[in-house]
Structure 1
Amino acid sequence: AALPAKSFMAGLLVCILSGIFSPMLNFAFVFGEPLRNAALAAGASVGRAADGLWALTLTAGFLPNAGYALYLIVRNRSGNLWSRHTAGNLFWSTLMGVLCYASFLVYGSGASHLGRLGGIVGWPLFMSMSLITSNSLGALTGEWRGAPAKALRLSLLGMGILIVAIVIIASGGQA
């Protein structure tokens, strides 16, 4: 069955806004250079100088996300669902948050060591590796079970293209 035009437009708007806002964390890294320099002047290592940026920007991103989640919980009257499977959900959501934050710490360290090119080549590498890792883990955990063969082929093709792009970017610095 076809989706109503309103649902399609809402989905399209989310896709467009996601594309616009996706690089904002990298913008924070690039335009946060004065904060990184202040951290270096205070004695932080090159690899740890961006850590303060992540605390600030990820908190700023968390607040509207948490607010929207709370809005949906109230609107859908689904607060009672919080009492189900609490320990397991708490473990997995905490692990997801820790791994997400750790990935930004690693990105900040690596991009800082790349110097001026960090925000230029580091971000596409980071995003590509995020997609490859998440899709690979999804396949290993059975997320793709029952998916049409064409969807799986397209996913593999996309990951292959990302891997080729990583090789091209990595070899671009070699003379």
Structure 2
Amino acid sequence: METNPTFGLLLIAIGAFASGSFYLPLKYVKNWKWETGWIIQGLFAWVLVPWIVTLITVPHLGQIIGQAPPRSIFLPILLGAGWGIGGLTWGLSNRYLGIGLGTALPLGFTAALSTLITPVFQGKFSAFVSSEKFGLVLAGIIIALAGIAIAGYAGHRKETELNAKTDGQPSEKNFRKGITVALIAGIMSACFAFGEASGKAMVDLAEQYNPGSLWNYNPVYAVLLIGGFLFNFVYCMVLSFQNKSFSDYSSKEAPLKWNYIFAALAGTIWFTQFIFKGMGTTRLGEFATVSWGVFFSLVVVFSNLVGILTGEWKGVSRKTRGILFAGLAVLIIAAVLIGMGS
């Protein structure tokens, strides 16, 4: 397979931008409970768009899935369900620690685990740690964790400053619970990377049928996301029963056409991250697992930049903004180092 790390990193950066901005359309969904908009975007993000894109971009898909070892299909589905659990516990992390630390800590755990543990699933760990560029990758991961911590601290300061300007509500913050949940969220969210690695047999088969194609990771994503969808579907149905929100889907009080459009758009943008991340990974070379470190570092950068552009940081002190930009600069340096290690 032809390698081009620079082009691969550019594609991964585009995917990271999609990841950092996909939630924007959901802000325009009106008069729906959270679970209603979430499962509609999930239907597009985890089922419809992945399979439509994969059917279009991967010739001989039936043969690829039919010839793949059962383990390379069922293990990604199982790990996809684990990733679904991680996404939901991520929300609890935000609840107990706040958005800044509640996002930064799980993301740090996920970035480190995704980069360092994935080679174990591929049987390449010894070669990975003994490679000449492993030092660069390790340094990049450590610097990325520092950058995520700095950005998380800035997020914590932002919340404190903005809450001081509004009428305070009873706080649900609990640092001890938050750290525990953040660890669980980080570990379970890393299941996506493990699922991608465990489905490598499908990628290899796709490469045999479609040599050099940028799309050869798509079958893995399509299969893996089934597990994520199933877990989220069950959770959202439970919430719908509890909140009696099934009527949302046909509610006359909601702008139904636009709600469906915005939820579908959010889901489509969400999966776009893996279209570009997968294409970029095919061009990174032998140790493409470093793609996760680059990807997550840039997700933090882009998600915070989107937050600034949409006014989430309005009213925050110059010092706090400076801390944020310092964290983002550190993350960019980390992404460059990890990329050099590919």
Query: Which TM-score tier does this pair reach, normalised by the shorter chain?
Result: 0.7 to 0.9
8 Å contact 1:111–1:117 — kept in the other structure?
no
User: 253, 256, 277: which one pairs with 1:107?
Assistant: 277
In the alignment, the residues of structure 1 paired with residue 280 and residue 308 of structure 2 have an alpha-carbon distance, to the nearest angstrom, of 27
Question: Is 1:93 aligned to 2:93, yes or no?
Answer: no
1:5-47 CA deviation, whole Å, 9 max, x = no partner?
A: 8x66654443222110222222122222111011112226441
8 Å contact 1:29–1:108 — kept in the other structure?
no
Identity of aligned residues (%): 29
Name the structure 2 match of 1:54.
Answer: 221
Question: Is 1:15 aligned to 2:177, yes or no?
Answer: no
Matches within 5 A, 1:73-92: 73-82=240-249, 83=251, 84-92=254-262
In the alignment, the residues of structure 2 paired with residue 87 and residue 16 of structure 1 have an alpha-carbon distance, to the nearest angstrom, of 39
Matches within 5 A, 1:142-153: 142-147=311-316, 151-153=320-322
Name the structure 2 match of 1:163.
Answer: 332
The TM-score normalised by the length of structure 1 is 0.82
Distance 1:39 1:107, change over 3 A: same
CA RMSD of aligned residues (A): 2.5
1:109-138 CA deviation, whole Å, 9 max, x = no partner?
A: 11122132111x111111122221121112
Distance 1:158 1:2, change over 3 A: farther
Matches within 5 A, 1:128-147: 128-147=297-316
Unaligned 5+ runs, structure 1: none
In the alignment, the residues of structure 2 paired with residue 139 and residue 43 of structure 1 have an alpha-carbon distance, to the nearest angstrom, of 42
In the alignment, the residues of structure 2 paired with residue 147 and residue 80 of structure 1 have an alpha-carbon distance, to the nearest angstrom, of 39
Matched residue type, 1:76: N
Which is bigger in relative contact order (C-alpha 8 A, separation at least 6)? 2
In the alignment, the residues of structure 2 paired with residue 64 and residue 147 of structure 1 have an alpha-carbon distance, to the nearest angstrom, of 37
8 Å contact 1:125–1:166 — kept in the other structure?
yes
How many correspondences in the alignment? 171
8 Å contact 1:46–1:113 — kept in the other structure?
no
The TM-score normalised by the length of structure 2 is 0.45
